Each structure stands twice: as C-alpha cells, then as structure tokens.
Amino acid sequence: MMKTASTEWPGLLGLVVGGLFLWDASTVQAYEAMTVGDGGRLVGNVVLEGDVPKPKGYNLTTLPDPIYCGRISDGQGWRLLQPFQVGDQGEFREVVVLIDGIEKGKPFTEFKSPKIEAIDCRFLPFVSIVRDRDEVTVVNMDPAMHDIQAYETSHLGPRVLFNVPLPISPRYPREANLSAHFHKHFPGEPMTQQVRMSRGRRVFLMQCGFHAYMESWGLTVENPYYAITDQRGHFEIDQIPPGKHKIAVWHPYIGGMKEFDVTIEPGRTAKLEIKIPAPTGRLYANQMVDNPYMRYNITEDAQSQIVPTLEKQRY
C-alpha cells in the first residue's frame, strides 16, 4: 500500500517545489559496511498513471542567448522544460527509488560524485544522487555563459549552497553563441563544489542564473540502497538485508516522497510494480499554456532568428 510523506501540495514557489516533503534525516546513524551473505534483491518498474503534466514554457526573447539556446525550441520562440520524462506506456524515467533506514549493509563503494554538463542550454542529467560533504562537478559544454546557482530545499524553504560562473572553452569561435547552426561542444574548465547540506535537508537543486529553463535536481542518500529508473522505468537494488523495508520513491515534481512496503527474503528476488498518480492542476507558475501569445508578443523578426535546428519541441 502506498503512503505519501505529505498529502499537502506546496504553493507556487518557482523552482523550489515538489521535493520538499521529506522526513527528517537528522537522526540517521553513520552507515556501517558489512558482508551481506544472505541478501536479497529488489527489481521493479515505475509507471506514471494519468496525463503527463504540461511542461514549463519560457519566452526566449526575454532571456539571454535566444538564438543559440533556441536551437531547442517550439519554432515559435518558446523554450520548453518538461520535468516528467515518460514513455509511451507510462514508463517513468529519472525517478529515485531508495531504501532508507538501513544502517548496516553492502559497502558504499559504487557511488560516483555526479558530473553535470551544461549542454545545449540544458543541465544533464536532470536527476542525480548526491552525498552530503561530497562533491559535484559541473562543466560548461556550450559557447554561452552559464552560472550555477545551487540550493538545498526542504519545507523550511531554500538555502544557497554556492553560486559560481561556468567558464566557456576558449576553443569556441567568437560568433558561436550567435548562431543557430553551431552544434559542436568543447568543455570549459570543470567547476567542482562541495555539497554541504544543513541538518534534515536532502534535496539539492541547481539552476542557471541566466537561463531559467536549466534545472538539475539531486537527492542525498545515507546508504547505497538506491537506484534511478532507466528508459524503461526499471530499477534494481541488490544485496539488501532480509526483512521488512520501506521503499521510498522521489521525483522533484510529484509532491514529496511516496512510500511502499516490501519484504526481502534471504537470497530471493522481490518484485515491486510502482504506480505514481500524475499530478494534476497547475504545478508551476510558468506552466506552458495553450495560447501563450495572450501574455507575450514575439515579433516576426525576433521569431525568424530563433530556429530549432537541433530539436523542435512539442507539448
């Protein structure tokens, strides 16, 4: 049976929504590695049930680098950000599945500090796993200036973790960021920052200070029992200590954690098919509407320069 960490939906707080309702992690003990000789395995899939929410919409003429960043746009001067990556059969991608509360288990050696790329005016990946007091590396792969604004969030609101510019590679020709047809990528100097979360906060958010449609989210973990769903919405977690566990499912825009109960038997594989109801109503202040030109006017001259030569978006 599914339980939600909160049934209350937060207000329209711009970017800082969705992932706020997490239990207090301040009482978690230090994780201890040990051999799990009779460990079990959990496999499953996450499906989004219902209509996929509309994306966010950004008028490119109101933000820097509209021509270069408009290489991904709707053909009418708008850049879209779809936080929900969902397949034709509802397979829900880039969702974190984890088991909290395990204090002893397999070694925490598979964790790799996330590397996030600013590429084609996107932060990729959109969802990552982070560890408190560990590092995050960000690299600018575009000929456009980007700026990292990183926050931690909770029901208490956001707190700034760091704010640094992302250097552009000197290999780019001067006119690259003014072209809709320049598609090469050269890495700038990597910027590595330490993630230092406050007590009880677990959600990491990074956005670009110049391009509001660039977001990347992270969730901190206390043990190695986690997975991020793949293109099929599939996940696997192994070497789980036998017993009853609570499985938590997190995505920054589903209104907090969703919890499920599962029993892991020694040496056996448990299967869990997870269905997440699609959020309804207006999820964000800048949600794309059917008739955006009721609010903004993009001149024909400006629109003619914003050409989706890399990807024509639809909603």
> Which amino acid is residue 95, in one-letter code?
V
The proportion of the chain whose per-residue pLDDT surpasses 70, expressed as a percent, equals 87
Q: Is the pLDDT of residue 1 over 70?
A: no
Mean pLDDT of 7-35: 52
Q: What pLDDT score does 296 carry? A: 59
Q: What pLDDT score does 111 carry? A: 85
Q: What pLDDT score does 52 carry? A: 97
Q: Is the pLDDT of residue 23 over 70?
A: no
Q: Is the pLDDT of residue 7 over 80?
A: no
Contact 167, 139 (CB under 8 A): no
What separation in angstroms does the CA of 160 have from each of 8, 152, 193, 206? 25, 7, 13, 10
Q: What pLDDT score does 206 carry? A: 96
Mind listing the pLDDT tens digit for each residue in 75-94?
A: 989 999 999 999 999 999 99
Q: What pLDDT score does 8 carry? A: 30
Mind listing the pLDDT tens digit for each residue in 89-128?
A: 999 999 999 998 999 999 988 788 999 999 999 999 999 9
The more confidently predicted of residues 168 and 302 is 168
Mind listing the pLDDT tens digit for each residue in 28-64?
A: 468 899 999 899 999 999 999 999 999 999 999 999 9
Phi, psi of 248 (to 5 degrees): -110, 140
Mind listing the pLDDT tens digit for each residue in 210-237?
A: 999 999 999 999 999 999 999 999 999 9
Q: What pLDDT score does 29 carry? A: 63
- The DSSP call for residue 293 is G
Contact 114, 220 (CB under 8 A): no
Query: Per mean pLDDT, which range of 139-148, 154-163, 178-187, 239-248 is the poorest?
Result: 154-163
Q: Is the pLDDT of residue 15 over 70?
A: no
Question: Quick one: which of 22, 44, 60 has its CA closest to 227?
Answer: 44
**Residue 233 CB partners (closer than 8 Å, separation 6+):** 45, 46, 47, 87, 90, 91, 92, 93, 95
Q: What pLDDT score does 27 carry? A: 44
Q: What would the two tokens of residue 290 be?
A: 């059917």
- The DSSP call for residue 68 is H
